Amino acid sequence: MVQTTRGSGRAPVGLELLGVQKRYGDVLAVKDVSLSVRPGEFLTLLGPSGSGKTTTLNMVAGFETPTGGSIMLGDKDITRVPTHKRGLGMVFQSYALFPHMTVLENVMYPLKREGGSGDVRKKRALAALEAVSLDHLATRRPAQLSGGQQQRVALARAFVSNPPILLMDEPLSALDKSLRTQMQEEIRRLHQEIGTTVLFVTHDQEEALALSDRIVIMRDGEIAQVGTPTEIYESPNSSFTAKFLGAANFVEATVARVEAGRPIELSLEAGGTAIARPTSVVRAGERVRLVLRPEDGFVEDSPQDAGNRVSAVFDEIVFLGDRLRCSGRFADGSGCLLWLSHRDADKIRAGQEVFLRWEPERSVIVPAEA
Binding ligand ADP (rule: CB under 6 A), the pick from 4, 5, 55, 162 is 55
27 binds, among Mg ion, ligand ADP, none (CB under 5 to 8 A by kind): ligand ADP
Question: What angle do the packed helices 177-194 and 147-159 form, to 10 degrees?
Answer: 20
Asked if 63 is part of the footprint of ligand ADP (rule: CB under 6 A), the reply reads no
DSSP codes of every residue in 7-19: HT-PPP--EEEEE
The residue among 201 and 253 lying less far from ligand ADP, judged by its C-beta, is 201
Binding ligand ADP (rule: CB under 6 A), the pick from 9, 49, 230, 301 is 49
Asked if 52 is part of the footprint of ligand ADP (rule: CB under 6 A), the reply reads yes
- Cβ-contact 56, 169 below 8 angstroms: no
Over its C-alpha atoms, the chain yields an Rg (Å, rounded) of: 25
The residue among 22 and 121 lying less far from ligand ADP, judged by its C-beta, is 22
Smallest gap from residue 21 Cβ to ligand ADP (A): 12
Smallest gap from residue 24 Cβ to ligand ADP (A): 3
319 binds, among Mg ion, ligand ADP, none (CB under 5 to 8 A by kind): none
Q: In what order do the strands lie in the sheet with 264-268?
A: 273-276, 264-268, 249-257, 287-292, 364-367
Identify residue 366 by its one-letter amino acid code.
Answer: V
The residue among 24 and 319 lying less far from ligand ADP, judged by its C-beta, is 24
The residue among 92 and 314 lying less far from ligand ADP, judged by its C-beta, is 92
50 binds, among ligand ADP, Mg ion, none (CB under 5 to 8 A by kind): ligand ADP
Count of positions on this chain that bind ligand ADP (CB under 6 A): 11
Smallest gap from residue 166 Cβ to ligand ADP (A): 18
Smallest gap from residue 63 Cβ to Mg ion (A): 12
The residue among 207 and 296 lying less far from Mg ion, judged by its C-beta, is 207
87-116: which residues touch Mg ion (CB under 5 A)?
none
Of 315, 312, 285, the closest CA to residue 297 belongs to: 312
5-44: which residues touch ligand ADP (CB under 6 A)?
24, 27, 29
d(Cα 139, Cα 203) in Å, to the nearest integer? Answer: 34
Smallest gap from residue 88 Cβ to Mg ion (A): 17
Q: Please list the alpha-helical segments (H only) found in 160-249.
A: 177-194, 205-211, 229-234, 239-244
SS3 category, 89: strand
Smallest gap from residue 64 Cβ to ligand ADP (A): 8
Distances (CA, A) of 34 to 37, 50, 198, 308, 313: 10, 18, 17, 39, 44
d(Cα 75, Cα 96) in Å, to the nearest integer? Answer: 31
The residue among 45 and 310 lying less far from ligand ADP, judged by its C-beta, is 45
42-71: which residues touch Mg ion (CB under 5 A)?
54
The residue among 54 and 106 lying less far from Mg ion, judged by its C-beta, is 54
Asked if 154 is part of the footprint of ligand ADP (rule: CB under 6 A), the reply reads no
Binding ligand ADP (rule: CB under 6 A), the pick from 4, 44, 54, 184 is 54
The full 3-state SS of 252-307, as one line of letters, equals EEEEEECCCCCCEEEEECCCCEEEECCCCCCCCCCEEEEEECCCCCEECCCCCCCC
Neighbour count for residue 259 (Cβ, 10 Å): 10
d(Cα 267, Cα 257) in Å, to the nearest integer? Answer: 9
Binding residues for Mg ion, rule: CB under 5 A, are: 54
Residues near ligand ADP, by CB under 6 A: 24, 27, 29, 47, 49-55
